[in-house]
Amino acid sequence: MKLGVFTVLFGELSYEQMLDHVADSGLDTVEIGTGGSPGTAHCNRRELLESAEKRSRFLAAVKDRGLQISALSCHGNPLHPNKDIAREAHEVFQETVLLAELLGVQTVNTFAGCPGESDDSHHSVWVTCPWPTEHSEVLKWQWEEKVLPYWKEQSKFLRDHGVRVAIEPHPGFVVYNCETALRLHTECGSNIGVNFDPSHLFWQAMDPVESIYQLGRAQAIFHVHAKDTALHRQNIAVNGVLDTKPYRNEAERSWIFRTVGFGHGEETWRNIISALQMVGYDGAISIEHEDSLMSIEEGFQKAVSFLKPLIIRERLDNVWWT
């Protein structure tokens, strides 16, 4: 496995400065944003698509520092009922796939998206329960009329360009757990897999290790984020885990995102990394920083220090009991 970082957190640095910082921190990979949320600071997607010379310099800067690109990331909602928002997200995604092909990057990370409740909607609608019955009707319509047709078409596009997509299961979108991720993978194409981020699973009361085994059996884990979640039991006890309060209201929320190790301890993360090894994942563990209680640099360095000793870089294949 390799340790890396989602580089959008270093948006104030130039591309070369960012790469120097990542390399000096002893990391192996960079995950580079190409648009959407949280945006891009180090990748002019259109310029790179148009210029072989600029692509060559872009890649050389990574290679010269002993790094690799683990994925290109463009998080958006191509299923949004607002056609302008959906069109922009779709264009960014497809251009990112084309750029990944030209750069020799295998994986593009994004979200599955979420439609509205009908063609007349103005905002996306995330269904979280089956009753009243219109919720079930909306969910059926979303998947059959919007989600499956769109991602079946994108699977063909991906196949034509030799790239795969890693969908990050994320509440608020139609893919938010193992069941929904595997439905997309099974019904739309094996080149549609998962960007596995435990932080979104912790607060839904999911077990990341069991989730890894289930997704791993389907060979659906394409990329991994390293981000943690702290659960505030006293608030969960009276309000549950569905929480719409702003992330800055840390003390009042049922949970908040944390740097790895500040939500769950070393044993939990050892088990996650070991489970990834068990299912054959040998790609990047990409640090993502969204900890509102730490500065970017402190959160990044603490994550690096926490994860470095846990990363399994070599697997013992020839042992006496085989």
Q: What is the pLDDT of residues 167-197, one digit of tens each?
A: 999 999 999 999 999 999 999 999 999 999 9
What is the value of pTM for the model shown?
0.96
CA separation (Å) from 255 to 210, 248, 251, 287?
21, 11, 9, 19
The domains found in the chain, sorted by start residue, are 2-230+258-310 (3.20.20.150)
Q: Are 72 and 34 in contact (CB under 8 A)?
A: yes
- What are the strands, taking DSSP E only, across 204-296? 221-226, 228-231, 255-258, 284-287
Query: What is the end-to-end Cα distance of the chain in Å, rounded?
Result: 22
Q: Are 211 and 178 in contact (CB under 8 A)?
A: yes
Is the omega angle on the peptide bond into residue 38 within 30 degrees of 0, that is, cis? yes
Query: pLDDT value at position 318?
Result: 56
Query: pLDDT value at position 291?
Result: 97
| pLDDT mean for each 10 residues of the chain (322 residues) | 96 96 98 86 93 98 98 97 97 98 98 97 97 97 98 98 98 98 98 98 98 98 98 98 96 98 98 97 97 97 97 69 52
- What are the strands, taking DSSP E only, across the chain? 2-6, 29-36, 68-75, 107-110, 164-167, 192-196, 221-226, 228-231, 255-258, 284-287
CA separation (Å) from 308 to 41, 150, 161, 233?
26, 39, 34, 29
Q: How many residues belong to the chain?
A: 322
Query: pLDDT value at position 317?
Result: 64
Query: pLDDT value at position 140?
Result: 98
CA angle 282, 177, 303 (to 5 degrees): 50
